[in-house]
Every structure is written in structure tokens, then in C-alpha cells.
Amino acid sequence: MKISWRNSDFIEIDLKAGKVNLEVNGCQPLHDLANKINGISESEIDAYIAKLGLEHQELLMKEALLRLQGKWKFPYTEEELCHCRMIPTKVVDEAVIGGLRTPEEIGRFCSAGITCGNCGTDIAAIISCRT
């Protein structure tokens, strides 16, 4: 299972003999976090998820661990989120992972949500899902 972010950062995760097996490529904080989690048992995953915070590497690791458990539920599945501004869902999601936490910040960053506003609830749902 592979999770990509910004084309260059990725996490590959699976279970080997009941232990989490992680391969990552990305920033040093992502590598450091992977080193802490690599090798934990399947039964310890929920406890590790509960400890994760809001730094980008923690949000990505949370997604990876939830995907491994089959529990990841992203609230919006279409490729384009803001139809007025033709903003892809991925751009909004990356902005949240990168640290933006309100629809207003997202709008200033990429213009999603600033025209008709119909996509505002979807933007808020992504923020809520990630954080």
C-alpha cells in the first residue's frame, strides 16, 4: 500500500508477521516518525494513532495506519473539489496537510471556496477529517 504526497514524499506500509513494515521517502521528520513506528505490533496501532499530532508527517502517518487497518475514510471522492475555480481535491488536501486549518486560509492559498461557496462544506469536511 503506497500513500503519496506532493509527488516526492511517500509511505509504503504493510504488515509482516503481524508487525508494521514502513518504507518512507520524504523529509527527516517523516523518516524519524517512521523509525519510531516501524516494527510495532498490529495491536499497538490504535495507541500510536492516538499519540499522533497535527504536523504534516503525523497526518500522513495517521492516514497510512488507518489505511492499513481499513479504517481510512476521506470525505470527498471527486477529483475536482471547487468547480468555480477548478481546484483539485488534492490541492485542498495538501494545503491542510501542510498546515492550513480554516476554509478562509484555504481560500487565500488556492482560491477554493471563494466564489459561490458551495464547496465550503467539503473543504470543512476535509479539514475535520485530517485534524
Among 110, 119, 126, 127, the residue binding ligand FES under the rule CB under 6 A is 119
Q: Which three cell numbers stand for residue 112?
A: 477554493
- Footprint of ligand FES on residues 27-86 (CB under 6 A)? 82-85
Minimal distance in Å, beta carbon 56 to ligand FES? 24
Instruction: Rule CB under 6 A: choose which of 115, 121, 128, 131 binds ligand FES.
Output: 115
Instruction: State residue 9 phi and psi, 5-degree precision.
Output: -95, 135
- Region binding ligand FES by CB under 6 A among candidate stretches 5-13, 14-22, 55-63, 110-118: 110-118
**C-alpha cell recorded at residue 109:** 492559498
Q: Is 128 exposed, middle or buried (0-12, 13-18, 19+ CB in 10 A)?
A: exposed
Phi, psi of 68 (to 5 degrees): -60, -35
116 touching ligand FES, by CB under 6 A: yes
Which of 63, 122 has the CB closer to ligand FES?
A: 122
Four-residue CA torsion sign, 117, 129, 30, 3: negative
- Please give the residue ranges that form the binding site for ligand FES (CB under 6 A): 82-85, 112-119
